[in-house]
Amino acid sequence: MKTQSLTRVLLCTVIGLSVLSCTARKPETGSGHGWEEAVFSVQTLSVGQTDAMVQEASSNFEGAPFYGFVTSNVKSPLKTAINEKLATISVNRHMLRTGVPAALQVTGLRRGGKQYRYIVTGLTPDGRPYGTPAVSEIVTKGSFAESSVAKVEYLGVSSRNHVIGVEGFGGLYDLGLFSKEDADSFGTDGELIQYIIDHTAPDPFSGDNKLNVGQLGRGDYVVIAFGVEEEPDFEGFYNPTLTYAKCLFTVK
C-alpha cells in the first residue's frame, strides 16, 4: 500500500454558517400593483437520493415575479437565507417566474439524509426581495451501510506517527478522525459522514493506502472512511456513495 500523509484531522466542533446580513427593501412596483403584499407558496412533491420535485407559486398576485432556490442553510431565518443567496447571484428577468403553480425538478442534491430548504421569494428585476416568502423542507433519500469489502484499521506507530490503513473501496473515498467522545455525540454514522463532507475541502483519496495521522494523545479514537463520487453536489462538495468503513482504536 502507498504511504500518504493525512494533513487534516477533523475536530467535532459544529461550525455555524456565516451569513451576509442586509436589510430587504420594498420593490418599486408602480402604482396599483401592491406586490409588496404578495404571499408565496411552495411544497415538496417528491424526493429522491439526489433530486426532488417542488411546486412553487404566488398565491394571491398572479403577475408578481418570484424566484426560487434550494439551500443547505436550514438554520438561518428566511430573510437572512434569502439575502445570503441574493448576494451571490446576478438577477435578470429570465430567472424570474410568474403565474400559476409550476412543478420543478431540483438536481445535484447530496444523498444520505442531507437536509435542504427550498425557498420562494418575491423578487423584482433589479434584485429587490419583497412579499412574504415561503419555504419547504427537503431531506434526501438513501441510507449509509457499512461495507463488507472496504476496511479501515489502526496499524500502530511509525516514527512516532500513528498510521491508519484503508483498503477495498475500489474508487474515491474520504475519511475523518475523531475522538470517540466526539464521534458518539453524533446520532448516526451517516450524520458524522455528512459533517465531514460539510467541513472538509474536497480532496479524496484513491487506492489502498497507509495514512500518517500524526501524533495523538492518549484516549479512544474513531476513524471513518466513506466512498465518494467524482461528480460533486450543486454546492461543490462530494456526494457519498453510502458505503463506509470504520474502526475504533485506543492510544495508551
Give me the domains of the chain, ranges plus CATH numbers: 2-13+143-251 (2.60.40), 37-139 (2.60.40)
Q: In this predicted model, what pLDDT tens digit does every residue of 57-82 receive, in sequence order?
A: 877 777 889 999 999 999 999 999 99
Alpha carbon distances (Å) from 95 to 71, 76, 106, 187? 17, 24, 15, 39
Residue keyed to cell 453510502: 242
Give the whole-angstrom CA distance, residue 115 versus residue 112. 9
Q: In this predicted model, what pLDDT tens digit does every residue of 207-234 receive, in sequence order?
A: 999 998 999 999 999 999 999 998 889 9
Look at residue 99 and tell me whether its pLDDT is greater than 60: yes
pTM of the full structure = 0.79
CA 61 to chain centre: 33
State residue 148 phi and psi, 5-degree precision.
Answer: -90, -5
pLDDT band of residue 27 (cuts 50, 70, 90) is: very low
Q: Note whether 154 and 213 are within 8 A (CB).
A: no
CA atoms within 13 A on the CB side of 117: 17
Q: What is the pLDDT of residue 62?
A: 73
Q: What is the pLDDT of residue 107?
A: 96
